[in-house]
C-alpha cells in the first residue's frame, strides 16, 4: 500500500497474517504514479485551505501534521471522505485504517449531541456527552459466547455505567443487571469497573436486550434511536436430519435471532416445519452456512419461498353472532365489525367505537385479541393480513351468558368473514435494486431486468461504472446474482432491499 501522506510504501508479512508490517521509501518504478496522485490529493485539499494553497504555490514542502489537521477538519465538516485501501481477508491495511480513525474521525465531544426521544412526552431532546448526566447507552450488537453467554456491545452516550449495577431497558421496560464490563481488543479483553460517556464496551448479564435497545435508568427515560427493521420477505424451511438435533437447532436459531432482529423463526403448524425468514437470498445463505459450519448442525434446507401478504380493497360492515355451550355453560357474543383498507405501509389497526359504558373493558380487550390474532392468519392463502383497519362498531351484551372467550372467538371469526366480503387481494414484496455495471454491459443488464418484470427508476452514469436503480418483484430476483455475473464477466454487482408490498396480478 502506498501512503500518499507520508509518501511511503507499506508491506505486510503474510506469514504472520498481517500482524507484522514494514514501511520503506517508495520504489522508483512507482514513484511517478504516487507523485501524480499526491498532487491530486493536495489539489483537492487546497480548495478548502488557504495555508496549504500558499505553501503549494510557493513550492514549499507541506508538513504532514498540517495535512492531517486539514483533512480531519474537512472530514468532520463532511466535505471530505478519506479512503484507505486494504483486504480484510488477509488483514492487509488494518493498522493504517485504525490510525486513520484516530487521525481523521471526530471524538464524541467534537460532534453535535445525539437526539433522543423522551418516552413520556415523545419530545425530542439533546443527549449531551456528559459523564455527570443520567446514564444512557445503545446496544448496537449482540454476540453469543459459549462461556459468557450473550455479549452485548454498548456505546455509552451520557453518564456512567458501572458493573454489578441494575439498569433499565427503556425500549422493553425490563430491568437488566450488568454482571461484568469488558473492553474488547479483538481476541482478548480487559475487565472494567465502569464506562463513561463516549466509551464502547461489552456488557455481560443482559437477558432481554437486543440490537437497537436503549439502556438507561428509570428516572430519565429517553430512547436514543428508534431502529426500523424492514420486514423479512424471503423464507426457507429447515429440518434437522435427526430428532435429536431438533432441540440443538432450535437453541441455535434462538441465539441467531437474538443477534439479528431481521431474522425470524416460526413453526408452521400445518406442515410441522421450522421456517426461517430473512431479508434476501444472501442473508439466508449466510445464516444457513453458520448453522451448518459454525454450529455443526446437520440440516436439510428447502428452496427459498417468497413471503406474501393479503389485504382487502373494500369497506365492509359485518355482524358476527357466536353461541356455544362449553362445559355446560352458555357462551354468547354478538359484535358488528367494520373493516377497511389502509394506505400501503400503514400496518394493521384496531379501534373501538363501543365505550366501556356499553361493553365491559375486558370484553372489548377480548375482541381486540381475537381481531389482532386474526390479522396473522389471512383469508385466502393463510398469509398475514396487511394494511387493514378493523373497528368495533357495536356489541350486544348479555350479563348472564356473555364471556371473554365468546367475544374473542367472535372477533376472530368476524374479521375473517368481513375480509372475505371485502374483495381480498394478494400482495407481493417489491424490492429496491441497485445494480453497478461496467458501461459495456449496461444495455444487456437493463434489458435483462425488464425481462424479469422490473421497473427501471434511473440510470446514473459514473466514471468507471453505470448505476441502475430499479423496482423488482422479489419472486423474479431468485438467482439474479449468478445471471448478473455471467452477463458482466463477473464485474457487475447489485444490492437489494425491501421497498413495499403491491397487488400481485393473478393468483399464486
Residue 52 to residue 167: CA distance in whole angstroms? 50
Could you tell me the pTM of the whole model?
0.66
**349, containing H or E segment:** strand 349-352
Q: Could you tell me the CA-to-CA distances from 289 to 292, 297, 298 in Å, in that order?
A: 5, 10, 11
Backbone dihedral region for residue 390 (phi beyond 0: left; psi -120 to 50: alpha; all else: beta): beta
Starting at the edge strand found earlier in the chain, the sheet holding 114-118 runs 124-127, 114-118, 222-223
pLDDT band, residue 507 (cuts 50/70/90): low
Q: How does pLDDT run across 452-482, given as a tens digit for each residue?
A: 999 999 999 887 889 999 999 988 988 888 8
And the C-alpha cell for 405? 372467550
* pLDDT above 70 (res 7): yes
Closest CA to 390 of 410, 407, 377, 372: 372
The backbone torsions φ and ψ at residue 366, rounded to the nearest 5 degrees and listed phi first, read: -65, -40
| CA-CA-CA-CA torsion sign (435, 437, 440, 441) | negative
Residues 6+ apart with CB under 8 A from 372: 348, 350
Q: How does pLDDT run across 158-168, given as a tens digit for each residue?
A: 999 999 999 99
Looking at per-residue pLDDT, the higher value among 282 and 62 belongs to 62
Name the average pLDDT for the chain: 90
Closest CA to 322 of 337, 339, 338: 337
Q: Other C-beta atoms within 10 Å of 49: how many?
A: 20
pLDDT band, residue 269 (cuts 50/70/90): low
* pLDDT above 80 (res 186): no
Q: What mean pLDDT is predicted for residues 155-179?
A: 93
Q: Could you tell me the CA-to-CA distances from 471 to 228, 457, 495 in Å, in that order?
A: 21, 7, 12
pLDDT band, residue 307 (cuts 50/70/90): confident
Q: How does pLDDT run across 361-391, given as a tens digit for each residue?
A: 999 999 999 999 999 888 888 888 999 999 9
Q: What share of the chain is helix, strand, coil (3-state, %, to 5)?
A: 30, 35, 35
Please, what's the b/e burial string for 481-507 (b: 16 or more CB within 10 A of its CB; e: otherwise)? bebbeebbeeebebebebbebeebeee
Q: How does pLDDT run across 202-212, given as a tens digit for each residue?
A: 999 998 888 88
Q: How does pLDDT run across 214-237, given as a tens digit for each residue?
A: 999 888 899 998 777 777 878 888
* pLDDT above 70 (res 154): yes
Instruction: For residue 155, list its beta bridge partners.
Output: 138, 200
Amino acid at each position: 500500500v502506498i501512503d500518499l501522506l507520508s509518501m511511503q510504501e507499506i508491506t505486510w508479512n503474510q506469514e504472520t497474517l498481517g500482524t507484522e508490517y514494514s514501511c520503506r521509501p517508495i520504489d522508483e518504478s512507482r514513484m511517478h504514479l504516487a507523485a501524480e496522485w499526491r498532487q491530486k490529493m493536495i489539489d483537492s485539499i487546497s480548495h478548502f485551505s488557504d495555508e496549504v494553497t500558499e505553501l503549494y504555490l510557493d513550492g514549499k514542502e507541506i508538513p504532514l501534521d498540517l495535512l492531517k489537521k486539514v483533512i480531519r477538519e474537512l472530514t468532520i465538516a463532511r466535505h471530505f471522505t478519506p479512503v484507505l485501501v486494504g483486504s480484510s481477508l488477509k488483514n492487509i491495511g488494518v493498522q493504517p485504517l485504525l490510525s486513520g480513525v484516530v487521525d481523521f474521525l471526530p471524538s464524541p465531544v467534537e460532534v453535535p449531541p445525539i437526539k433522543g426521544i423522551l418516552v413520556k412526552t415523545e419530545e425530542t431532546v439533546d443527549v449531551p456527552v456528559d459523564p455527570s448526566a443520567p446514564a444512557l447507552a445503545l446496544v448496537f450488537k449482540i454476540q453469543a459466547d459459549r462461556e459468557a453467554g450473550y455479549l452485548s456491545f454498548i456505546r455509552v452516550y451520557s453518564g456512567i455505567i458501572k458493573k454489578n449495577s441494575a439498569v433499565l431497558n427503556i425500549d422493553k421496560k425490563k430491568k437488566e443487571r450488568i454482571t461484568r464490563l469488558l473492553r474488547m481488543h479483538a481476541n482478548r479483553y480487559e475487565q472494567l469497573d465502569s464506562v463513561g460517556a463516549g466509551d464502547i464496551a461489552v456488557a455481560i448479564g443482559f437477558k432481554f436486550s437486543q440490537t437497537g435497545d436503549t439502556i438507561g435508568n428509570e428516572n430519565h427515560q429517553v430512547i436514543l434511536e428508534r431502529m426500523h427493521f424492514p420486514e423479512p420477505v424471503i423464507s426457507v424451511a429447515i429440518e434437522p436430519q435427526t430428532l435429536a438435533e431438533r432441540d440443538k437447532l432450535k437453541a441455535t436459531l434462538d441465539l441467531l435471532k437474538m443477534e439479528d432482529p431481521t431474522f425470524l423463526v416460526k413453526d408452521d403448524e400445518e406442515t410441522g416445519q421450522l421456517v426461517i425468514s430473512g431479508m434476501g437470498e444472501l442473508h439466508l445463505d449466510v445464516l444457513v452456512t453458520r448453522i451448518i459450519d459454525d454450529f455443526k448442525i446437520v440440516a436439510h434446507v428447502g428452496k427459498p419461498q417468497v413471503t406474501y401478504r393479503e389485504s382487502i380493497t373494500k369497506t365492509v360492515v359485518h355482524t358476527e353472532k357466536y353461541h356455544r355451550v362449553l362445559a355446560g355453560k352458555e357462551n354468547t357474543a354478538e359484535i358488528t365489525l367494520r373493516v377497511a383498507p389502509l394506505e400501503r405501509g400503514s400496518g394493521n389497526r384496531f379501534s373501538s367505537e363501543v365505550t366501556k359504558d356499553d361493553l365491559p373493558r375486558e370484553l372489548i380487550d377480548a375482541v381486540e385479541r381475537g381481531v389482532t390474532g386474526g390479522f396473522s392468519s389471512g383469508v385466502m392463502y393463510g398469509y398475514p393480513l396487511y394494511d387493514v383497519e378493523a373497528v368495533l362498531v357495536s356489541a350486544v351484551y348479555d350479563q348472564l351468558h356473555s364471556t371473554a372467550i365468546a367475544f374473542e372467538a367472535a372477533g376472530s371469526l368476524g374479521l375473517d368473514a368481513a375480509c372475505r366480503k371485502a374483495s381480498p387481494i394478494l400482495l407481493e414484496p417489491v424490492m429496491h435494486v441497485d445494480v453497478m455495471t461496467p458501461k459495456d454491459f449496461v444495455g444487456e443488464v437493463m434489458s435483462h431486468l425488464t425481462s424479469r418484470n422490473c421497473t427501471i427508476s434511473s440510470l446514473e452514469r459514473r466514471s468507471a461504472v453505470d448505476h441502475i436503480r430499479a423496482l423488482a418483484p422479489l419472486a423474479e430476483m431468485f438467482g439474479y446474482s449468478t445471471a448478473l455475473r455471467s452477463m458482466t464477466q463477473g464485474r457487475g454487482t447489485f444490492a437489494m432491499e425491501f421497498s413495499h408490498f403491491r397487488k400481485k396480478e393473478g393468483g399464486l
